[in-house]
Amino acid sequence: MEKLKVGIIGLGWVAQVFHLPSLKKINDVEVTALCDKDKSKLKSVGEKFGVQRLYTSFEEMLASEKLNAVTICTPTDTHRSIAVAALNSGLDVFVERPIARQYSEAVEIAETVNRTKQKLMVGMNNRFRPDLMMLKSIIENGELGEIFYLKAAWVKKLGSNNPWLTQKEKSGGGVFLDLGLGALDTLLWAVNFNPVKRVSAVTYNHTTKSVEDSCIAFLETKNGTTLNLETSWSFHVSGDSFSCEIFGTKGAAQLNPLRINKMISGEVVSVTPVKSETPQNILKRSYEIELKHFIGAAKGLHPVISTADEAVQRMKVVEAVYKSAKLKKEIVLK
């Protein structure tokens, strides 16, 4: 089988820790070229991973290389221009979340996907966590009954390696776009993306200026399911954490670690699988499975999971969250 030629644009920690090692493991993939504006980083990463074709301009890379696909791991303000250029060049695209800074940019990318008929996948690695995939199948089998309440909390200290995250013109928003979008996607994915009907949110700026460092949001879907999201860069907690709880009429489940309880003969009984993995291994595997899925989709083996059209709908909810926080009132989505 001919190898899929892939270029990687942006060589931050996501590219170095997850994309390059994961893609290098796939037999029918050749990481052909790398692109980053930082020449010293570009040189060192190229040497480390054995990639010789190096570019500081993504336009030059797209024009010079015979690629099949690219992965985009750059700051959010560049996503629209790179994705549109790559799609127009006949390439399939994997772009890390968020797809763009705002709804209008996401729409432009989705329209380009639909016009060019190329494949685009947005990075939502939580969907590919082994524990969440198991939980999704349990929900779909009806073992938890009707899901009526879900909540997720993602707390992470803001590192110094991505200063652009707190610059609104580059990031588009603060912690909700950085962490909340992934948590939101996880909860909506668990209930098969029932459309969000209304949103109420509050944001805080305790350690940041132009973007929020904490966000609490309540959402209701059209079928009456309630979602609760807590995200923060500044909560005074001992370490980074991601947690998720799902409540149904017959049982409940939570992460991390995975626990499943069901009501059996009038008593709450644990039916948690015995096997468990470390959070670090689960995170690593989620990226490996996700990128392998993208490669399979690019080869025409299956449809894309986490499409541009889905991302447009998520960005509509993101804008409602920010509007609710700004106006201090509930926003109803149409």
**pTM of the predicted model, to two decimals?**
0.96
Please report, rounded to a whole number, the percentage of residues in the chain having pLDDT higher than 70: 100
Residue 210 scores a pLDDT above 80: yes
Homologous superfamily of domain range 127-277+314-332 = Dihydrodipicolinate Reductase; domain 2 (3.30.360.10)
Span 276-302, average pLDDT: 94
Lowest average pLDDT, out of 47-51, 124-128, 217-221, 263-267, goes to: 263-267
| 145-156 pLDDT tens trace | 999 999 999 999
Length of the chain: 334
Please report, rounded to a whole number, the percentage of residues in the chain having pLDDT higher than 90: 93
Q: Strand pairing partners for 216? A: 202, 230
Q: Buried (b) or exposed (e) across 18-55, using 16+ Cβ within 10 A?
A: bbbebbeebeebbbbbbbbeeeeebeebbeebebeebb
| 255-275 pLDDT tens trace | 988 999 998 998 999 999 877
Q: Is 57 exposed, middle or buried (0-12, 13-18, 19+ CB in 10 A)?
A: exposed
In sequence order, the 6+-apart residues with CB closer than 8 A to the CB of 210 are: 166, 167, 168
Q: Strand pairing partners for 147? A: 248
H helices present in the chain, as ranges: 13-14, 20-25, 39-49, 58-64, 79-88, 103-116, 130-140, 168-171, 175, 181-190, 279-298, 308-327
Instruction: Give one DSSP letter per residue of 52-73, joined into a string.
Output: -EEES-HHHHHHHS--SEEEE-
Span 288-311, average pLDDT: 97
- Domain spans, the chain: 4-125+287-307, 127-277+314-332
Mean pLDDT over all residues of the chain? 96
CATH number of 4-125+287-307: 3.40.50.720
Tokens 């690695």, residue? 125
* Cα-based angle 257, 263, 269 (whole degrees, multiple of 5): 50
In sequence order, the 6+-apart residues with CB closer than 8 A to the CB of 81 are: none
Using pLDDT thresholds of 50, 70 and 90, give the confidence band for residue 1. low
DSSP 8-state class, residue 128? G
